[in-house]
Amino acid sequence: MSSELIMTSVDSDQEAKVVVSGEIDIYTARQFKEKLYQFVDNSTKDIVIDCSDLDYIDSTGLGIFVGALKKARLTDRNISLENIRDNIRKLFNITGLDKLFIIR
Amino acid sequence: MSSELIMTSVDSDQEAKVVVSGEIDIYTARQFKEKLYQFVDNSTKDIVIDCSDLDYIDSTGLGIFVGALKKARLTDRNISLENIRDNIRKLFNITGLDKLFIIR
Amino acid sequence: MESRDKIVVKLPCKPEYVSVARLTVSGVASRIGFDIDTVEDIKVAVSEVCSRIISVAGSSEKQYEIWFDISAKKLTISFSAKIERINCIFEDDEDGLGAAIINAFMDEVEYCPEGKDYILSMTKNFEVISCNGL
Amino acid sequence: MESRDKIVVKLPCKPEYVSVARLTVSGVASRIGFDIDTVEDIKVAVSEVCSRIISVAGSSEKQYEIWFDISAKKLTISFSAKIERINCIFEDDEDGLGAAIINAFMDEVEYCPEGKDYILSMTKNFEVISCNGL
Ligand SMILES: Nc1ncnc2c1ncn2[C@@H]1O[C@H](COP(=O)(O)OP(=O)(O)O)[C@@H](O)[C@H]1O
Ligand SMILES: Nc1ncnc2c1ncn2[C@@H]1O[C@H](COP(=O)(O)OP(=O)(O)O)[C@@H](O)[C@H]1O
């Protein structure tokens, strides 16, 4: 019911992984942006974002993914997205962002 | 999301059982009332209503349960309610209807 | 969250849209921080009032409005509808099931407001730590 | 269901209430018979417009309204808000992600209405069996 957003992250020797669950919209976006950008800046590895429990994302949220990717690319890294639900996958297709990210 | 109501019933030698799922509110009440009253009229046994999948009931719906019970009592029968969810059980307590029905 | 937000929903006096009222009130109540059980209670109370308005309105061509007044301490929900000759929508049914549910779930209910622009108003307080010397 | 029902929701121009708009639109769209995927699409499109209105409104003291016009053939959703000097809320961003999503999910979108009491209007048709000689 409530559109809270939870982001947890692990930056170990093996991987740099972010798990997002809940809803990324104009309300939760600012907090998410800060956390994600910080994670990208602090890590040195390719980044995996697990979207299994991401219920909803709007254009603000997609813009943040793009912003994070641009940051990662500055140091020759990539961002891949995992377990995206169909309704959200649709948004990546529509906007062409499916060609920007590694989606698996 | 949608507040549809589904009522299925079995009237066998062993039992007279009704399963309600979905929402009973002012919109779905009329159809539910007709079906339930008809079932009570046509059966000769005590009636069990399985509420496992009943998400929501309002005072209109509770009134229909009471009406059905009155009908059943005319021929010395009872109605018992099974597997009521907590949110709905609360309504029976508040209204005192928990003392009218066999709830198990 | 600031101290006085207002949300209004205007619906046709038709049974099929009471479910819309329920979803909206759930959204408002959970957004402003009520716990899940309280959200359910408020939803049920609102739905009872909507049903009652539809029953007494007499015409499905009419509309009613639900006003949400959000403050730091409470949520007040008021209903307005142009219903002729009726001031108390729960008149003759104050001991009915609907009113019993509303009374149990809301902290305050104004059933028959006089000279107001609403026909029923009810309030749910946010739980506060009691300072009553307890 | 009769041919022209209207539902209106009025919300503060604040990000925290866009979730309320989403729930309400989901309720309306599913009630009037859109399938679950289409309900999701309409919800996403509405949410994009709400976010945009909040972004350009400039003040969280303002309010905006979402109008649902329900007919047998389509659902039209219009938005109104008193936003000074802005007629096209997606101006300079017509190729942005928000507009791309809205365009993909709705059947018709009126982005910059002239002399209307709304600032954006969009329509989703109920699927009909084509009679185009197919
Ligand atoms: N606690 C109770 N015990 C027994 N019967 C009750 C109780 N509460 C309500 N009823 C009965 O349930 C039916 C529906 O109640 P209610 O919704 O209050 O009626 P109304 O349709 O007049 O509003 C009525 O027949 C009423 O007598
Ligand atoms: N299909 C695309 N491929 C690559 N980048 C894109 C694509 N669509 C949008 N972007 C980029 O995503 C970011 C956010 O997009 P958008 O939401 O349109 O921006 P704005 O915040 O200006 O509305 C921008 O940096 C934009 O350049």
Helix (H) or strand (E) holding C52: helix C36-57
Instruction: Give the separation between CA A71 and CA A89, rounded to whole angstroms.
Output: 22
Number of other residues whose CB lies within 10 A of the CB of residue B80: 13
Of C107, C87, C126, the closest CA to residue C45 belongs to C107
Radius of gyration of chain A (CA): 13
Nearest CA in chain B to D25: B1
Residue A1 has pLDDT above 70, yes or no: no
Does the beta carbon of B3 lie under 8 angstroms from any beta carbon of chain D?
A: yes
Q: D65 and D81 in contact (C-beta within 8 Å)?
A: yes
Between D132 and B103, the more confident residue is B103
Predicted pLDDT of residue A14: 85
Q: C124 and C106 in contact (C-beta within 8 Å)?
A: yes
The tens digit of pLDDT for each residue in D31-74 reads: 999 999 999 999 999 999 999 999 999 888 899 999 999 999 99
Residue C4 has pLDDT above 50, yes or no: yes
Measured from the alpha carbon of residue C90, the closest ligand is 1
Residue A70 has pLDDT above 80, yes or no: yes
The tens digit of pLDDT for each residue in B62-71 reads: 999 999 999 9
Predicted pLDDT of residue C3: 58
Mean pLDDT for chain B overall: 94
Considering CB atoms only, which of A27, A56, A62 is closest to D15?
A27
Band of residue C132 on the pLDDT scale cut at 50, 70, 90: low
Does the beta carbon of C96 lie under 8 angstroms from any beta carbon of chain B?
A: yes
Across the interface, whether the CB atoms of C11 and D16 are under 8 A apart is answered no
Strand-pair partners of A48: A17, A80
- Phi and psi, residue A9, nearest 5°: -145, 150
Across the interface, whether the CB atoms of A59 and D97 are under 8 A apart is answered yes
Predicted pLDDT of residue D82: 85
Considering CB atoms only, which of A1, A60, A87 is closest to D40?
A87
Measured from the alpha carbon of residue B98, the closest ligand is 1
Predicted pLDDT of residue A10: 94
Record the pTM.
0.91
Mean pLDDT for chain C overall: 91
Domain residue spans of chain A: 6-103
Q: CA B25, B28, B33 angle in degrees (round to 5)?
A: 100
Nearest chain C Cα distance for residue D133, angstroms: 36
Instruction: Give the separation between CA A71 and CA A50, rounded to whole angstroms.
Output: 18
Nearest chain D Cα distance for residue C119, angstroms: 19
Q: How big is chain A, counted in residues? A: 104
The tens digit of pLDDT for each residue in A24-57 reads: 999 999 999 999 999 999 999 999 999 999 999 9
For D28-49, b where at least 16 C-beta lie within 10 A, e where not — what string? bbbbbebeeebbbbbbbbbbbb
Whether ipTM exceeds 0.85? yes
Least confident range of A75-84, C15-24, C88-97: C88-97
Q: N- to C-terminal Cα distance for chain C?
A: 29
> Which atom of ligand 1 lies closest to the CA of B96?
1
D10: left (phi over 0), alpha (psi -120 to 50) or beta: beta
B vs D contact (3+ beta-carbon pairs below 8 A) = yes
Of C34, C47, C52, the closest CA to residue C94 belongs to C52
DSSP string of D65-119? EEEEEE-SSEEEEEEEE--TT-S-TTTT-TTSHHHHHHHHH-SEEE-S-SS-S-S
A vs C contact (3+ beta-carbon pairs below 8 A) = yes
Residue with tokens 């649902």: D68
Considering CB atoms only, which of A25, A62, A87 is closest to D19?
A25
Sheet of A5-11: strand order equals: A5-11, A16-24, A47-57, A79-82, A102-103
Residue D128 has pLDDT above 60, yes or no: yes
Nearest CA in chain D to C29: D20
Tokens of D104: 């993909």
Tokens of B94: 């508040």
**What is the mean pLDDT of the segment spanning A67-87?**
97
Instruction: Give the separation between CA D72 and CA D75, rounded to whole angstroms.
Output: 8
Helix (H) or strand (E) holding B24: strand B16-24
Predicted pLDDT of residue D132: 57
Instruction: Give the separation between CA A92 and CA A61, rounded to whole angstroms.
Output: 11
Nearest CA in chain B to D33: B2
CB of B95 shorter than 6 A to ligand 1 = yes
Strand-pair partners of C67: C8, C78
**Domain over C5-125 is classified CATH 3.30.230.70:** no
Q: D25 and D71 in contact (C-beta within 8 Å)?
A: no
> Which atom of ligand 1 lies closest to the CA of B66?
12
Of B17, B42, B22, the closest CA to residue B32 belongs to B22
CB of C97 shorter than 6 A to ligand 1 = yes
Radius of gyration of chain B (CA): 13
Q: How far is the CA of A63 from the centre of ligand 2 (A)?
A: 6
- The CATH architecture to which B6-103 belongs is 2-Layer Sandwich (3.30)
**What whole-number percentage of chain C has pLDDT above 70?**
92
The tens digit of pLDDT for each residue in B39-54 reads: 999 999 999 999 999 9
Considering CB atoms only, which of D16, D37, D48 is closest to A59?
D48
Across the interface, whether the CB atoms of C19 and B3 are under 8 A apart is answered yes
CB of B100 shorter than 6 A to ligand 1 = yes
